[in-house]
Amino acid sequence: MLYEILQKARKEGLMAIEKDVESPHDSPIFSKFPVVGHDHHVIEFTTDYLRMMVSGNLNAHEIEALMDSEIDTHHAEAHAPVAALARLAGALPAFGIVAAVLGVVNTMGSVGQPPAVLGGMIGSALVGTFLGILLAYGVMEPLGGLLEQKMEDAAKELQCIKTTLLASMQGYNPTTAIEFGRKVLFSTDRPSFSELESHVRGKK
């Protein structure tokens, strides 16, 4: 997507991408990439800074500072639910212990009951501890880890866009600019040089 936008700007001038930037959902370029098009963070981030590039009012260093601030804000917002899940995971074992203690107290009040009855009551008390630990370490922590990974992936995507656009502003051609962006991606998401080159050749 970035290659096609930058290539159009290079061939026809920055003003040629103004309509794409102002109405990305009606843009023939953005429409080719529905997965990206459904991510409003990516679309807004990309179009906002392309708009600044078209206006020409800010230099690369000023735009880079703005990008860094926006990425930091996005990261802080995305981290809030991760932190909430971490706190919940830390509290659940304590709730389990409280449930166990209440169960033991209830059992002590029935100390005159037969052993079979007392055993069942003690078992019920321990279920609270088990559930607290299971929910904390078997559900909440993995869920928090998944959200954190998605948060990091989203941040890396914005960093890739940032690096590519800044490289373009510094005078690099679109092919080189997207190579800069490729290097920022995690190895699990990063296409090889030959894969990217093949894709670019297909767009020419």
Judged against a pLDDT cut of 60, whether residue 204 lies above it is answered with no
Mean pLDDT, residues 49-59 taken together: 82
Q: Binning pLDDT at 50, 70 and 90, where does residue 65 land?
A: very high
Is 169 in contact with 2 (CB distance < 8 Å)?
A: no
- Interacting residues of 113 by C-beta distance below 8 A, sequence separation 6+: 121
Mean pLDDT, residues 140-150 taken together: 89
Judged against a pLDDT cut of 70, whether residue 145 lies above it is answered with yes
Is 2 in contact with 199 (CB distance < 8 Å)?
A: no
- Between CA 93 and CA 13 the distance in angstroms is 61
Mean pLDDT, residues 85-114 taken together: 81
pLDDT by residue (tens digit) across 8-51?
Answer: 888 888 787 888 788 878 878 778 877 776 778 888 888 888 88
Mean pLDDT, residues 134-141 taken together: 89
Long-range contacts of 113-116 (CB under 8 A, 24+ apart): none
| pTM, to two decimals | 0.75
pLDDT by residue (tens digit) across 72-87?
Answer: 998 888 888 888 888 9
Query: 3-class SS at 134?
Result: helix
Domain ranges of the chain: 2-203
pLDDT more than 90, % of the chain = 5
